[in-house]
Amino acid sequence: MDHQARTQNEKLEMKTTTCYMCACRCGIRVHLRDGEVRYIDGNPEHPLNQGVICAKGSSGIMKQYSPARLTRPLLRKPGAARGDAQFEPVSWDVAFAILEKRLAHLRATDPKQFALFTGRDQMQALTGLFAKQFGTPNYAAHGGFCSANMAAGMIYTIGGSFWEFGGPDLDNAKLFFMIGTAEDHHSNPLKIALSKFKRAGGRFIAINPVRTGYAAIADEWIPIRPGTDGALFMALIRELIEQNAYDRAFVERFTNAGELVDLREASDTFGLFIRDPDAPEVNALFPQNHLWWDTCTNRAVLHHADGAQPALDGRYTLDDGTPVAPSFTLLREQVADCTPEWAAEITGIAAGTIRGIASEMATVAREQRITLPIRWTDSWGKTHDTVEGAPIAFHAMRGLAAHSNGFQTIRAMAVMMSLLGTIDRPGGFRHKAPYPRAAPPSAKPPNDPAMVKPNMPLPTTPLGWPAAPGDLFVHEDGTPARIDKAFSWEYPLAVHGLMHSVITNAWRGDPYPIDTLLIFMANMAWNSSMNTTEVRKMLVDKHKDGEYKIPFLVVCDAFESEMTAFADLILPDTTYLERHDVMSVLDRPISEFDGPVDSVRVPVVPPTGECKPFQEVLIELASRLKFPAFTTADGKRKFRDYPDFIVNFQTAPDSGTGFLIGWRGEDGTKAVIGEPNPKQWDEYAKHNCVYHHRLPESLQYMRNCNGPYMQWAVDNGMRKFGLPIVIQLYSEVMQTFRLAAQGKTKGRQPPDHLRARIARYFDPLPFWYPPLERDVTQLDRYPLAAITQRPMAMYHSWDSQNAWLRQIHGENHLFVNPVTATAQGIEDDGWIYVESPWGKVRCRARYSEAVEPGTVWTWNAIGKAAGAWNLSPNAGESQRGFLLNHLITDELPSDSRAGERLSNSDPITGQAGWYDVRVRIYRAEADAATTLPQFPAMHPLPGSTSVVQRVQAYFAGKGEFAARLRRAAQFGATGDNS
Ligand code: SF4
């Protein structure tokens, strides 16, 4: 066929949807020829990326046609051992029947025997609802392994966080600090913003042990030792206070700096805010009757009383003799010894540099202040003629979060940002709807094991925001009630759960065994676990009677990962090009600073083979199991399918609040709330899959305490209460837990062996402490910190099987400063061992000046197990790639009770401390040729296809691919993706 004829007969189409090659959710245009994806580019009309696409986004085509695709439901063969990956295809009818029978029994007998944990999905509003309706508390997504400390540390302080819920206003900032951030969080949107910022003359300072990615284009790179950022922030707080360089007007009115703290040490209210018994509390969760010391009248008054001027410094005595102090005084005292010299010893940053950073902040705040002529009214009725801000912005992520001191480090950062007055102001940090939320939000986890009842939904969502010991989910004796021990005394504020503890705990039966573990899109046998080698053994370990210790493992994924080998039942998920999805305000939207934005995905190609979206699996199971929210009054199925569910689900009967905010109301004319609109999907599809609701300018800033914004947020389902979100420089929540640990309060108290731990780490003011792992590590033997980053060109483990992206990163080295390497006689590209107290790996070293000498690092997610992801067993990813997780322990010896072990996690939030590991490096054998450890090669699963066939078919085009794929799925051809 000549080219002309071929062109005339071809059907060319272009469809818009939303990318999911990473979590940024850019708008994309997918170009198809005869129904096959041929090309993907950025959608110029999409507000988030404005046409920009990255290497990952344009390589989605190779994800779609990846040989690692699972295409059929698979059941472990009778008699085959788990882990041997011996499966037989089954129909969806069979798969659903197995699940329905098993889950119905668990729900009717003991719902907590079912656990659902998910990876980096974007539908936690649905998965959380499923768990709640099932009645199991054993649910969480990947946040506990990712950046839960970032969310918790900031939300408990300022009611908002980086990433989906807020970010740096680089359009207006003059000085920008990026701290502990690799390339993987915030891709295109941040690249676009940084490019504009630098062109406009902004100064960009990167503080990171490693200079890669964004840090590579920084005006200044300040290397820092991993796990020490909190010390830097404490010193900067001290400098800002000492130099009187903080925004006093902001701090006085919009933080709790002026609120008076009870200083009676013997009292059960020691360290709590004084309440005025004669003033209304208004809301027990967020009392509104705290006091200031008014410097005009020299007496205590209700906070924000007309004309009052709060003291920030000093100690006072109330009329009844109670000694008190403004919380700012306690903050000043807390940082008094945190001199730049003190921080320099810890961080490796020279004291002069730390002073220089503080001075630069002070200068920019003083000399480049932004004033916008926007009138707004605060929560106490005062109208302000302008919105002002110091144009100093920050962005931080996992580099701060993945340490066992991450929560307090991030608290310190949020306090520093607040002292600069940069919260929801131009040039600083800006919230994105539905944030800000209360600090902490009012949603609480279950707090009584008796709430788990057969055939009953939980009364609350499984995850929430504890504010006091009474919110913990523990038994009367204080023992944990969740399988991951979240919301127990071990990890009280585990707002994202502890996905990384589930397999270990279930294997050990601590706090109890479970029956069925459903894992969605999480590679727990590889990237998403610490102590990977042992976790893989736990997955196949049996009781003496031959029963697996975790009896039934269901894995839902689009790809043949390391984890699928361990499944008893595999459910093949779709790709993002094959399904409906929502990026919802109920979950993780793509909101802009000026108002809520949500977006959707619509299928641009049909599902491959027998793949089914996990969303459809959940809707089907919820309907079969007759969950109340999925069943009509007469017992019938309420929602036809996932799109029908998205359109018609409301958070409460007739609330008008649903998953999508655009084109609501029966005729599609309402925004944010309104009745369900049966044509809502069509409208999104017609409008680039995105809806942007801009707020009036007067509602766009200072939203922590913007009275009219609060009213709008309550009226539109974004907030439960319209009370101001006063910034928590001093955290009464933390002090409440500390008082319980000290035995000063009645009610729930921690078990004795955890009292000292709670009392130490639940400091109401931020502080720095060394990561916990250092207490059990011989630092002179393991002198180096080891961390990972994900490359710009890959996201999670999905992309190291992508034929195009593999050409950028097909294997990984350990990056070592030449000074460190040569001291050990290690050559560039030489084979080495990297050893921690917990294990060792063999890999190659690569000299790099872009890492501080006390740190070594590697890319995460490139090293693979042999044969996994349908790669050839001799592919570079397994033979020359390696995974640092083999060196990381998932548990640490308890610091207070011999023999007990605790998760290697933050003692406040349970965030995995996987950046805390210490290592040593030394030359490997002269004849080393592969990385270690190696595992027996996985083999292709039924339904996977040959890459040779696929590539030939792809380039032949004309629908041949689809035909071959069907044939391959039918006959179970083997793959070869080397
Ligand atoms: S930044 Fe992320 S969402 Fe945007 S195009 Fe790249 S991979 Fe896709």
Strands 597-601 and 581-583 turn out to be: antiparallel
Mutation test residue for ligand 1: of 17, 26, 164, 192, the one with most atoms within 8 Å of CB? 26
User: What separation in Å is there between the alpha carbon of 293 and the centre of ligand 1?
Assistant: 51
Q: What integer is the mean pLDDT of 95-119?
A: 97
User: What separation in Å is there between the alpha carbon of 203 and the centre of ligand 1?
Assistant: 26
Least confident interval from 56-60, 489-493, 637-641, 940-944: 940-944
Measured from the Cα of 187, ligand 1's closest atom is 1
Any residues with Cβ below 6 Å from ligand 1, and which? 19, 21-22, 24-26, 49, 53-54, 56-57, 187-188
Q: What integer is the mean pLDDT of 805-815?
A: 94
Q: What integer is the mean pLDDT of 371-396?
A: 97
CA-based nearest residue to 272, from 731, 743, 761: 731
Has residue 359 got a pLDDT over 70?
yes
End-to-end C-alpha distance for the chain, whole angstroms: 32
In tens, the pLDDT along 710-769 reads 999 999 999 999 999 999 999 999 999 999 999 999 999 999 999 999 999 999 999 999
Q: Between 121 and 271, name the one with better pLDDT.
A: 271
Mutation test residue for ligand 1: of 20, 25, 54, 63, the one with most atoms within 8 Å of CB? 54
Has residue 166 got a pLDDT over 70?
yes
Q: What integer is the mean pLDDT of 646-650?
A: 97
What is the rounded average pLDDT for all residues in the chain?
A: 93
In tens, the pLDDT along 936-966 reads 999 899 988 655 555 545 554 444 455 554 4
pLDDT over 90 percentage in the chain: 88
In tens, the pLDDT along 450-476 reads 999 999 999 999 999 999 999 999 999
User: What separation in Å is there between the alpha carbon of 19 and the centre of ligand 1?
Assistant: 6
User: What separation in Å is there between the alpha carbon of 793 and the centre of ligand 1?
Assistant: 10
In tens, the pLDDT along 395-432 reads 999 999 999 999 999 999 999 999 999 999 999 999 99
Q: What integer is the mean pLDDT of 538-546?
A: 97
H-only helix segments in 339-498:
340-347, 351-367, 398-401, 406-419
pLDDT-derived band at 798 (thresholds 50, 70, 90) equals confident
pLDDT-derived band at 164 (thresholds 50, 70, 90) equals confident
Contacts of 725 (CB under 8 A, 6+ apart): 158, 159, 436, 437, 438, 439, 704, 705
In tens, the pLDDT along 883-907 reads 999 999 999 986 555 457 899 999 9
Enter the tokens of residue 357: 């950073």
Is residue 948 within 8 A of residue 956, CB to CB? The reply is no
pTM of the entire structure? Answer: 0.95
Whether the link from the prior residue into 446 is cis, omega within 30° of 0, is: no
Q: What integer is the mean pLDDT of 608-632?
A: 97
Is residue 838 within 8 A of residue 530, CB to CB? The reply is no
Smallest CA separation from ligand 1 atom 5, residue: 57
CA-based nearest residue to 570, from 936, 86, 64: 86
CA-based nearest residue to 615, from 659, 567, 665: 659
CA dihedral for 164, 170, 175, 177, sign (positive or negative): positive
Q: What integer is the mean pLDDT of 668-681?
A: 97
pLDDT-derived band at 187 (thresholds 50, 70, 90) equals confident
Q: Which residue has the tokens 């085959």?
A: 80
Is residue 176 within 8 A of residue 162, CB to CB? The reply is no
C-alpha 772/C-alpha 408 separation (Å) is 13
Specify the amino acid at residue 769. Y
Enter the tokens of residue 168: 């740096």
Eight-class DSSP state of 122: S
The predicted structure's pLDDT at residue 10: 86
Least confident interval from 209-213, 622-626, 904-908: 209-213
Q: What integer is the mean pLDDT of 107-111?
A: 98
User: What separation in Å is there between the alpha carbon of 765 and the centre of ligand 1?
Assistant: 38
The predicted structure's pLDDT at residue 228: 98
User: What separation in Å is there between the alpha carbon of 264 and the centre of ligand 1?
Assistant: 54
pLDDT-derived band at 973 (thresholds 50, 70, 90) equals very low
Residue 114's beta-bridge partner residues? 516
pLDDT-derived band at 793 (thresholds 50, 70, 90) equals confident
Has residue 218 got a pLDDT over 90?
yes
User: What separation in Å is there between the alpha carbon of 584 and the centre of ligand 1?
Assistant: 18
Residue 932's beta-bridge partner residues? 842
Measured from the Cα of 58, ligand 1's closest atom is 5
pLDDT over 70 percentage in the chain: 95
C-alpha 406/C-alpha 400 separation (Å) is 6
Angle in degrees, 0-180, between the axes of helices 406-419 and 229-242, rounded to the nearest 10: 30
Enter the tokens of residue 967: 């044939």
Has residue 213 got a pLDDT over 80?
yes
Mutation test residue for ligand 1: of 20, 21, 795, the one with most atoms within 8 Å of CB? 21
C-alpha 840/C-alpha 780 separation (Å) is 17
The predicted structure's pLDDT at residue 945: 67
Has residue 862 got a pLDDT over 60?
yes
Smallest CA separation from ligand 1 atom 4, residue: 26
Neighbours of 268 (CB within 10 A): 14
Measured from the Cα of 48, ligand 1's closest atom is 4
Smallest CA separation from ligand 1 atom 8, residue: 57
Q: Between 345 and 2, name the one with better pLDDT.
A: 345
C-alpha 30/C-alpha 19 separation (Å) is 10
pLDDT-derived band at 436 (thresholds 50, 70, 90) equals very high
Has residue 108 got a pLDDT over 70?
yes
Mutation test residue for ligand 1: of 16, 41, 56, 122, the one with most atoms within 8 Å of CB? 56
Least confident interval from 24-28, 138-142, 972-976: 972-976
The predicted structure's pLDDT at residue 968: 46
User: What separation in Å is there between the alpha carbon of 904 and the centre of ligand 1?
Assistant: 32
Q: What integer is the mean pLDDT of 675-684?
A: 97
User: What separation in Å is there between the alpha carbon of 39 and the centre of ligand 1?
Assistant: 15
CA-based nearest residue to 604, from 579, 581, 574: 579
User: What separation in Å is there between the alpha carbon of 120 and the centre of ligand 1?
Assistant: 14
Contacts of 197 (CB under 8 A, 6+ apart): 170, 171, 173, 176, 204
Has residue 874 got a pLDDT over 60?
yes
Smallest CA separation from ligand 1 atom 2, residue: 22
User: What separation in Å is there between the alpha carbon of 119 and the centre of ligand 1?
Assistant: 18
